[in-house]
Structure 1
Amino acid sequence: MVVLKIRDQPSLLKAIFNVDPDEVRSLIFKKEDVNVQDNEKRTPLHAAAYLGDAEIIELLILSGARVNAKDNKWLTPLHRAVASCSEEAVQVNEVNAYGNTPLHLACYNGQDVVVGELIQAGASVNQGALCQDLLLAHGAHINLKSKDGKTPLHMAATHGRFSCSQTLIQNGADVDGEDKSRNTALHIAARFGHELIITALIKHGANTVKRGVHGMLPLHLAALSGFSDCCRKLLSSGFVIDTPDDFGRTCLHAAAAGGNLECLNLLLNIGADFNRKDNFGRAPLHYASANCNYQCVFALVGSGASVNELDQRGCSPLHYAAAADTEGKCVEYLLRNDANPGVRDKQGYSAVHYASAYGRTLCLELIASVRPLDVLLETSGAEVLRDVESQAPLSPLHLAAYHGHCGALEVLLASLLDVDVRSPDGRTPLSLACSRGHQECASLLLHHSASPMARDYIHKKTALHAAAMNGHLECLHLLMSHNNQHINVDAQDTSGQTPLMLAVLSGHTECVYSLLSQGACVGTQDRWGRTALHRGAVTGQDECVEALLQRGAGVCVKDIRGRTPLHLASACGHMGVLSTLLQNAGAFPPDTHLTDNQGYTPLHWACYNGYDACVE
């Protein structure tokens, strides 16, 4: 539901929410629309009904308010009134978008007085209503299901209404009825930790080994949610403790993921297999580590769980802990128990890579204290790149720089030798940091002598290109103010594009001005003979074009097809740019001479593409 600010609403709604009948009466007299709707299609009557003010409701109805108006969720003013305990009634069997009547909502909120009023007004009690004795006395269908397949017993189990559930069971409720997720009331009670309801359901024959959502047993759900008392109740009924769900996960996997030590120990003490793997090759220790459940990690390792067991992705528990452990407790304990930080997954990533990608600075420090990172990663450079089997697509430096994790980057830079280590396509960590706009990371890399002019292998772009094309002004300033190395602001990539051209192409005006202030050449042409001004003309970047013209960019410079910026602005219909170009063209040759290689003038192109304004 969208919550709207009262101060932004029409006067009538303000008066209603201020519960001011006199102001409402005054506004209605002034012809204020009583059926005005907000973005959720709620009317003033919806608001009045929700607040339960009978006087205002009567005023609105007498003034023509539509009593059965439905909002986006098919809720009428009556639904709103019932949900907020008002006893007014209009059409008592009106159904909302979820198939619920006002009676459903009253029962759901436990409003017995409202329920009584609704039944007296003729509400149907046979549409899945829930209010125990009152409804049952009026002939409610006890096993009727809602749209999502839930019976009244499911609802009682959800909210822990023990007496209600007892009444339903005693009156013939189906204890093993499934909702659309395959869950029974026992699954629901286990999920929400309602021990008394679990006891009642088991006593009346509920199936404790019935599979619910994803093939989970009620015990899976109790263990996952950390309700140890519920686990004991479910265990007392007896079944195979290592029964897997649809994904091969046992109840011990669920307990490890949920993080409740009491549940975990309960299962371990009755013989749950702590090394059993699910369909993904993960043991309970993988889940405990991934969820940073230190006590569960401690208990599993203490029970003999293997700390270096790999799943199908080649990940050990340490990989998952390194990615998630902000406090470092799980990582420290795993390392202390001989977890190998050098193990790489099937993509070639180690725990160092995972910690770097997720910015877990403390985890990196812990790993470095066990084994120097340069040794662990074989100096992160040439040796790794030569070893095809152990080669990761990206180094830890790349991952930390790309995601902007400055703390992790600092730890890595204190250990790693090659600050300009390359990715498979030749990009450096500095290039990635600049492409993402991570100014602090870029500054740190430059401080450690990263090269701003290092080019990638494919497009031959530098960090300058990366910052300019993505509009990251601060990174651009950092690169150009770097005094230790020669900076070529006119460096060209394989297509002959300069950082200035790329900044203009994407309309990054501030970057354009910054590059120009550092002496970027406006007349440089790419491999097709196009200048930065050609790019501004074709993309309609008015401000960039102005900046280039102020620096003397040539309006009549032709590309290899003989087309000038005037041709391109005309062909693309950018009237503002065309006007600026014409004003700055000066005394250029007549149109007969301003032709491209096909003999077309800018006028031809404007006419051909139907840009009347440009033609004029």
Structure 2
Amino acid sequence: MVLELLHNGITLETTTKKGNTALHIAALAGQEQVVTELVNYGANVNAQSQKGFTPLYMAAQENHLEVVKFLLENGANQSIPTEDGFTPLAVALQQGHENVVALLINYGTKGKVRLPALHIAARNDDTRTAAVLLQNDPNPDVLSKTGFTPLHIAAHYENLNVAQLLLNRGANVNFTPKNGITPLHIASRRGNVIMVRLLLDRGAQIDAKTKDELTPLHCAARNGHVRIIEILLDHGAPIQAKTKNGLSPIHMAAQGDHVDCVKQLLQYNAEIDDITLDHLTPLHVAAHCGHHRMAKVLLDKGAKPNSRALNGFTPLHIACKKNHMRVMDLLLKQSASLEAVTESGLTPLHVASFMGHLNVVKILLQKGASPSASNVKVETPLHMASRAGHYEVAEFLLENAAPVDAKAKDDQTPLHCAARMGHKELVKLLLEHKANPNSTTTAGHTPLHIAAREGHVQTVRILLDMEAQQTKMTKKGFTPLHVASKYGKVDVAELLLERGANPNSAGKNGLTPLHVAVHHNNLDVVNLLVSKGGSPHSAARNGYTALHIASKQNQVEVANSLLQYGASANAESLQGVTPLHLASQEGRPDMVSLLISKQANVNLGNKSGLTPLHLVAQEGHVGIADILVKQGASVYAATRMGYTPLHVTCHYGNIKMVKFLVQHQANVNSKTRLGYTPLHQAAQQGHTDIVTLLLKHGAQPNETTTHGTTALAIAKRLGYISVIDVLKLVTDESVSMMTTEKHRMSFPETVDEILDVSEDEGIAQLTLGEELLGTGGARYMKMDDMKDHDDDFLSPKKSLEYERGLGTANYSPAIPRIPRVSPETVNLKEHEIDQQHTPLPLPKEYDEDSLIPSSPATETSDNVSPVASPIHTGFLVSFMVDARGGSMRGSRHNGLRVIIPPRTCAAPTRITCRLVKPQKLTSPPPLVEGEGLASRIISLGPASMQFLGPVIVEIPHFAALGRGDRELVVLRSENGSVWKEHRNRYGDEVLETILNGMDEELESQEELGKKRIRRIISTDFPLYFAVVSRVQQESDLIGPEGGSLTSKLVPMVQATFPETAVTKRVRLGLQLLVNAHCYNKKKIRMAQEALLQPVRDMGHSEILRGHFRGTQPFEKGLGFPHRVPELRGWDDMRLRGQGDEAEDLPGEQVSEEQFTDEHGNIVTKKIVRKVVRRGKGSGEEGVLEMSMEGSLQDVNDLEGNAEQYLSYAILGHDSSKSSPQDSTPSPKQSYVDT
């Protein structure tokens, strides 16, 4: 209707008797759409009625927020009053329409922040509006979106009138939002004296802290308000209050260069050398900011010019770093040390050189700084300038006698540093000053090697022009061309070749640049090298050509390029291995097809007669086998020992490959030189499914080896029950009885070649594992290494140096070692077979695509029938388990049992369980002193298997625990390299719950102890479990609050830790090694030795008090009941592998003291308290007070990376028989390991 009237041209200015237009009426009624149409058709938004009412006034009066907003946006003037002088804002305030009030107040202000009405009134110091708002809503602490109250706003804008009103109406003067900022913080920051006094008079908390722990005094100091500082201090503000970072108000004032504030604070006795958490003083801050006046005031007031920050930086270091010349001059005049060094050994000259501040460098050298000073890496200032590329600084250093060929810790010279960064002008400068272009690092790298690695062509050109030798080799025999080839630097390689580099130079392993380029798949470099004369026929030490490497790594483009340049597809290594062997073994169809297309011989065997098809059979690559057979590969080819591909695949359990070969007429009854058929091989390895398949295809079960053994006899000897079940149905028993007492194990040949393409020196890797424990017996580690900690000191330090950053592996990751089982036949006595033989591959699970007919004997490849719940069933290596659960006992090892309760296994799963010798592992369990393995290591599978509930594993052990001084712990490893302690979270009381209704008998811990069986409860399977016997240990978490550890074995032995003795919360353990040794000649006898671990986590204060009162050797008077025994003792800091010495220092305190023994008798003892110095690797003095308490200072200052532990021992001797010096054994005899 309105629109129709408007279309018909109705007059918009028509009014009622009271002067209201249509727009007035629509606004009063809140008709937003009508208001919109009227305004769009030209209605006057500021039209007034007879009494002066505007449409905006009416909308505000009725709280029509959207209408008010629309009118304002379309030109409505909120300043037009009525006849009585009321504005829209006034009527909105009167009616209590806060949203409309806020809109009217905020409209026209800049920014996106929209404050509540009371906040706006506070900002505008509008007490009238604020008073009206508080009448409608008496809460003066209403919050804005940012969490501030109106009082915060008033304090910020210094509006005293509103502030007083708010406080009078009950505003909380200490209201604290999430950020912790109070109105007093804001007022102190703004510097309004009257506001601060007002807030303090109303009870503002003077030491209130923000989220960052800033006090009002910090705020005033940072902004330079001297008068505020004075007021706050007079009211008791804490002058040494610290922020989270340890900044005090004087730091804040120094940062802002507020000299008067600093003077004011010092007048109130502020600490002039107060330190932050990083040990920064106000002078450090002034030096950092370059505030010369501030630095002068601080120094004049007594600030220390050589104070060191936590990283060792002095104010002079900082001034030199920031290039603040005036501050530096001032510090030097105040005797700041030019030789002061940081934690990393940097002098101020090092810092200035690295930053490139030439003027600073000049002044430092003029003041006597040494240009030859070195840091902890033995780097000089010239090294620093060269690395950072500061030409002018380096030039000035050289002019002032800086050694141009100074060598750092790894023998890097400044020229190495400049070459690495590609600073060609700096390289020229160094060479002009006679720098040696052929100097080598400890790894044998010259500057040319390093420039080649980084691809700096111009730097390489400069070095070559200055007679840098291209024939120089690293310790691994790499020339610069090798390095460029490794890192794919084509331009550098091209330049080196133009300058006469030999493309066929061979390193120590016979590797040419072409080998290296191929190994790292740098095709452009490969093409360059072969085009410049690089021979594709060059062989490494093991006979590998570049094509061998490309074939193994499936680099088809590289191989194609090599073949185009004449590489032979039939090149043989020292063992006769061709590229086709390697490509086939790796299962690379494209590479195999390429090599065959280039006349690769598919039937060429290596020195042992292994053809590519043998290796494919070993790995189970059926697709590759199909390619080879179609190209004429013989399925009858036999090795030197007579193994056909069918023998090999039967040995390794590849059922699909077996099916493929028999489909291609492989002879299922062919024999090796020892008379083994494929059936013998499959039976020996326990592959039931393969045995069944071979029998179906005509394998003769009665065939015997040269020693008269049938496949059935082998299966019986090795205990493969499921294989026995299949073979006994078809084997003549009279033939199967023809067995000898010795069984010859049969293993096919395999490839065992390794190619080292590593550039750097590495430690020779042991291949068989028998050397891994070393000649010294068990490995040792600290207690914390077994726990799930991630301490920084366990992490390897990352090196930025070129030589150390290239890797240390001594073998090529792309060409891994293929393990050889040697010798080919191993003789084992019958009784040894059950204990030692473990089949190499795990038995394969049932294959749905198999041609084998279904039968109870072939449904699974092990000896556990899946028909019934496998309760109390034996197993050899593995067994099947499902949701029904099961309990399986080891057939070979009495006491070994695995219990899988019902409903803990989500799906049918094959569980494997083996006993492994520790020397067979790359990283056997690490052991501390007094520990040893108490059983074979248990290997469980599937590794990382997660169960739905706890499962139980019981492991037999051979530890003797009868005396009660030892205990068993279980270690676990998820990956075979990292070990940690496994803790059972379930006690015996919940065993019935764990069994989940399973009818299984579980013995108590006491019964298990008598049978020497350890029970493990876990919800998952690690890769390995190990049972370890150790001296009984008491451990607890000790923190800065202190604590104590008491030995349960000898309760009188106790280690106590005072407050702050340990800097962080760590787990410490106390062990007591009982000694029963008596040194008869001198009447000396040793008490228990207390072992405390670890020591790295301890602090820098007194950390140990060992109470050794009443230990057995002394209570009985050492066999001299009528004499008072004299007690002596010392501490021994042992660093494994470093042979520490200790020597007695002169001076001792002797006293007689009385103690009460465990029987209540008073015993008098003569106490000798003696100072003992530890030897190399320590450098600290320790004081040990035996029979009372001992202390050790500054353990954290210990140097060296060896593993450490503290040992405390007490000795007693008959003082009447010998002098104290004669009777005390040497520190080398101060402990006896048990």
TM-score of the superposed pair, with normalisation by structure 1: 0.69
1:463 to 480, 505, 512: 480
Which of residues 365, 386, 398 is equivalent to 1:368? 398
Q: Deviations over 1:322-344 (max 9, x none)?
A: 111x3411101111222111222
Instruction: Note if contact 1:575-1:614 (Cα within 8 Å) is conserved in structure 2.
Output: no
- Is the 2:587–2:616 Cα contact (8 Å) retained in structure 1? no
Question: Which deviations, in whole Å up to 9, do the C-alpha atoms of 1:452-472 show, x marking residues without a partner?
Answer: 221113x01111111110111
The letter for the 2-side match of 1:144 is T
Q: How many Å apart are 1:598 and its aligned residue? A: 6.2
State the secondary structure of the residue aligned to 2:369.
coil
Q: Distance in 1 between matches of 2:315 and 2:206?
A: 31
Q: 1:532 to 1:267 in 2, by over 3 A?
A: same
> In 2, Cα distance between the equivalents of 1:498 and 1:158?
74
| Contact kept? 1:570, 1:606, Cα under 8 Å | no
Given residue 456 of structure 1, which amino acid in structure 2 is its aligned partner? T
2:534 aligned with 1:516:
no
Selected match of 1:250 from 246, 261, 281: 281
Number of the residue aligned with 2:723? none
Measure the CA separation in 1 of the matches of 2:562 and 2:416: 35
Q: Are positions 1:443 and 2:457 aligned together?
A: no
2:415 is aligned with what amino acid? L
Alpha carbons of structure 1 residues 144 and 563: separation in structure 2 relative to 1, 3 Å: farther
1:273 and 2:304 matched: yes
For the Cα contact (< 8 Å) 1:280–1:311, is it kept in 2?
A: yes
Q: Partner letter of residue 502 of structure 1?
A: V
1:499 maps to which residue?
513
The one-letter amino acid of 2:501's match is I
Partner of 1:343: 373
Q: Distance in 2 between matches of 1:293 and 1:310?
A: 19
- The one-character-per-residue Cα deviations of 1:507-539 (angstroms, maximum 9, x if unpaired) are 111111111121101111111211111221222
Please give the alpha-carbon distance, in whole angstroms, between the structure 2 residues aligned to 1:193 and 1:474: 60
How far apart are residue 396 of structure 1 and its match? 0.9
Distance 1:171 1:443 in 2: 78
Q: Tell me the distance in 2 between the aligned counterparts of 1:404 and 1:208.
A: 53
Aligned CA-pair RMSD = 4.0
- Do residues 569 (structure 1) and 601 (structure 2) align? no
Q: State the one-letter code of the partner of 2:572.
A: K
Distance 1:127 1:533, change over 3 A: same
Structure 1: tracts of 5 or more residues without a match: 1-53, 56-82, 88-101, 385-389
Larger relative strand fraction: 2
2-structure distance, mates of 1:473, 1:435: 11
CA drift at 1:174: 3.6
Alignment of 1:52-201 (within 5 A): 85=112, 125=143, 129-133=147-151, 142-146=174-178, 150-152=180-182, 156=186, 166=196, 172-179=203-210, 181-187=212-218, 190=221
Deviation for aligned residue 1:554: 1.5
- 1:593 maps to 604
Q: Using the TM superposition, give the Cα deviation of residue 209 of structure 1 relative to its aligned residue in structure 2, in angstroms.
A: 1.3
Distance in structure 2 (CA, Å) of the matches to 1:159 and 1:443: 61
Q: Which residue of 2 aligns with 1:331?
A: 361
**Which one is further off, 597-606 or 151-160?**
151-160
On the 8 A contact 1:310/1:316 being kept in 2, the answer is yes
Contact 2:189/2:216 (<8 A) preserved: no
| CA displacement at 1:251 relative to structure 2 | 1.3
Structure 2 letter corresponding to 1:463 = P
Q: Tell me by how many angstroms 1:211 deviates.
A: 2.1
What amino acid is the match of 2:327?
A: C
1:445 aligned partner, one-letter code: L
Task: Give secondary structure in 2 for the equivalent of 1:207.
Answer: coil
* Distance apart, 1:540 and its partner CA: 2.4
2:559 maps to what in 1?
Answer: 545
1:480 lines up with 2:491 in the alignment? no
Q: 1:437 to 1:157 in 2, by over 3 A?
A: farther
Distance 1:555 1:284, change over 3 A: same
1: CA distance, partners of 2:183 / 2:457:
57
Letter in 2 for 1:452: Q
Task: State the AA in 2 paired with 1:85.
Answer: K
Shift of 1:248: 3.6
Partner of 2:448: 430
Per the TM alignment, residue 602 of structure 1 is displaced from its structure 2 partner at its CA by 4.9
Structure 1: distance between partners of 2:534 and 2:188: 67
Residues 1:334 and 1:547: Cα distance change in structure 2 (over 3 Å):
same
The aligned residue for residue 353 of structure 1 is 383
2:27 corresponds to = none
Structure 2 residue 550 is matched with structure 1 residue 536: yes
* Larger RCO, structure (CA 8 Å, separation 6 or more): 1
Judged with a 3 Å threshold, the aligned counterparts in structure 2 of structure 1 residues 183 and 461 are, in CA distance, closer, same or farther, namely farther
Q: Partner letter of residue 393 of structure 1?
A: D
1:151 Cα deviation (Å)?
3.1
Match of 1:286 among 291, 312, 317: 317
CA distance, structure 1, for counterparts of residue 572 and residue 194 of structure 2: 84
**Structure 1 counterpart SS, 2:591:** helix
Q: Is the 8 A contact 2:353 2:361 kept in 1?
A: yes
Alpha-carbon distance in structure 2 between the residues aligned to 1:189 and 1:212 = 14
Q: How high is the TM-score relative to the length of structure 2?
A: 0.36
Partner of 1:490: 504
Query: Any idea what the Cα deviations from partners look like across 1:9-28, whole Å, max 9, x if unmatched?
Result: xxxxxxxxxxxxxxxxxxxx
| Cα separation, 2, equivalents of 1:140 and 1:241 | 36
**Cα 1:567/1:245, change in 2 over 3 Å:** same
Deviation at 1:498, TM superposition (A): 1.2
Tell me the secondary structure at the aligned position of residue 213 of structure 1: coil
> What's the CA shift for 1:272?
1.6
Matched residue count = 494
CA gap of 1:128–1:532, structure 2 versus 1, over 3 A, is same
2:297, 2:237 → 1: CA distance?
23
Instruction: Report the Cα distance in structure 2 between the residues aligned to 1:195 and 1:568, rounded to whole angstroms.
Output: 82
Asked if the contact 1:322/1:351 (under 8 Å) is kept, the reply is yes
How many angstroms apart in 2 are the aligned matches of 1:84 and 1:505?
62
Aligned partner (choices 327, 335, 338) of residue 296 of structure 1: 327
* Alpha-carbon offset, residue 200 of structure 1: 6.7
Structure 1 residue 420, shift from structure 2 partner: 0.5
Report 1:172-251 matches (<5 A): 172-179=203-210, 181-187=212-218, 190=221, 202=233, 205-224=236-255, 226-228=257-259, 230-232=261-263, 234-251=265-282
CA distance in 1, matches of 2:368, 2:331: 14
Which secondary structure state, in structure 1, belongs to the residue aligned with residue 271 of structure 2? coil
Question: Could you say which residue in structure 2 is the equivalent of 1:558?
Answer: 572
Aligned twin of 2:292: 261
Distance 1:190 1:297 in 2: 25
**1:497 and 1:473 mapped to 2: Cα distance?**
19
Deviation at 1:427, TM superposition (A): 0.9
Indicate whether 1:608 and 2:622 are aligned. Answer: no
Q: Give, as a single letter, the amino acid of the residue that structure 2 aligns with 1:360.
A: H
Query: How far did residue 477 of structure 1 move?
Result: 1.6
C-alpha distance in 2 between matches for 1:226 and 1:614 = 81
CA distance in 2, matches of 1:499, 1:234: 70
Residue of 434, 437, 440 corresponding to 1:419 = 437
Match of 2:901 in 1: none
Secondary structure of the structure 1 residue equivalent to 2:303: coil
Q: Which SS does the other structure have where 2:384 is aligned?
A: helix
Aligned equivalents of 1:548 and 1:193: distance in 2? 76
Shift in Å, 1:139: 6.0
Q: CA deviation at 1:142?
A: 4.2
SS of the residue 1:215 aligns to: coil
| Paired residues for 1:45-56 under 5 Å | none
Q: Which amino acid aligns with 1:605?
A: V
CA–CA distance in structure 2, aligned partners of residues 86 and 182 of structure 1:
27
